[in-house]
A and B are shown apart, each in its own frame.
Chain A
């Protein structure tokens, strides 16, 4: 069974294998479809219309399926690679080993936000953006530039304590675990981390930054943690909800998988520890 590990515990070889697999997908032209799929969904998921990937109950199963697909692509390059997760409640600064030149590289330079260190620096010649919001084809970051602090463990715990998965009107104004985790309400976990990284992570094309996968892997882990803390609770809504993916509805773009199919992550992988 594949084990997804905390990125802070990866060996030098595990980091290298992950980075090399990502770069190889990019070289083969199989990376950028993930960027375009993500953006296509995020710009069309609306509070008053059809919503699947974001601002809706299926935010969590949609991204779980999206990450599984990406992980399978990585494993087609190197079967030993699993997605690592970034626990931003623990590794909270731009000096974290996550941002080292041997892994994701660091923040962008002050003049234009361009990432200039690590394997995803434009100057490496291996990371030119094709699906992008504007004319710049280099990866940008501004770690800690737009929001002072990453969410704390106490803030994450406060969201994990919420007993109800989601609530009407099933969008960015909902109460419940999903929307507080996504961050449109309350202490703001997921959205805030995108903003803390800045640059492309703040855009709809956020998967241009490989940090996307490590961030969302932790979001996925927090969902699993919520399930373990609330065994009597489950995915909502369960049926006949307009514009929203119910428990047994298939999800676009795959059209062959439902939230119910994805509730038990241990069918696919496990996490190295609890939260």
Chain B
């Protein structure tokens, strides 16, 4: 797995962690901080390992020609009913929001991979890029 190979600026992580501690939305997220790994058997029988996104915080990269970004949301955006259910985390593909959700075991799913868990938001975003084959995400209706 290369999920955490591109480490972001570590200088911001303590600030992000502190902010996340203040979020009501961050229950699952904060519970996972420091626990590192939770074993999970994915749909294909392979072991998907839930890594704490706090260890990587945000990401911003070009994957297969698409810009994918992930970032913790500011407090107040995680637990309301505005359409964000990602445990206070947002993923974008070429600037369009990929609806994501965090499972109780710390793994992640998205609207385009809703029945198969991924270990990290970055892995989930890359899977969406492969599924999209160049298509543009549409806002949820």
Interface flag for A96 (CB, 8 Å): no
- Interface size on B, as a range, is 20 to 34
Least Cβ–Cβ distance between B32 and chain A, in angstroms: 13
Interface flag for A43 (CB, 8 Å): yes
**A172 contact set on B, CB distance < 8 A:** 103-105
Cross-chain contact B133 with A113 (CB below 8 angstroms): yes
Query: Number of contacts between A and B (CB, 8 Å)?
Result: 93
Cross-chain contact B115 with A131 (CB below 8 angstroms): no
Of the residues B42, B104, B138, contact of A132 by C-beta under 8 Å: B138
Of the residues A133, A171, A173, A186, contact of B111 by C-beta under 8 Å: A133
Main secondary structure of the interface of B (DSSP, over half): loop
Interface flag for A154 (CB, 8 Å): no
Cross-chain contact A39 with B111 (CB below 8 angstroms): yes
Cross-chain contact A194 with B115 (CB below 8 angstroms): yes
Of the residues B41, B102, B104, B135, contact of A169 by C-beta under 8 Å: B104
**B115 contact set on A, CB distance < 8 A:** 183, 190-192, 194-195, 202
Interface size on A, residues (CB 8 A): 40
Cross-chain contact B135 with A135 (CB below 8 angstroms): yes
**B61 contact set on A, CB distance < 8 A:** none
**B133 contact set on A, CB distance < 8 A:** 112-113
Given the interface pairs A49-B85, A202-B116, A203-B112, the reply to whether A183 lies near B43 with Cβ below 8 Å is yes
Instruction: Name B's A-contacting residues (CB within 8 A).
Output: 27-28, 41-44, 79, 81, 83, 85, 99, 101-105, 111-116, 131-133, 135-138, 140-141
24 A-B residue pairings within 8 Å (CB atoms): A39-B140, A43-B83, A43-B99, A43-B111, A48-B27, A55-B103, A131-B141, A133-B138, A146-B44, A147-B43, A148-B44, A169-B104, A172-B104, A173-B103, A191-B115, A202-B112, A202-B114, A202-B115, A202-B116, A203-B112, A203-B114, A204-B111, A205-B111, A206-B114
Instruction: Name A's B-contacting residues (CB within 8 A).
Output: 36, 39, 42-44, 46-49, 55, 112-113, 131-136, 146-148, 169, 171-173, 183-186, 188, 190-192, 194-195, 202-206
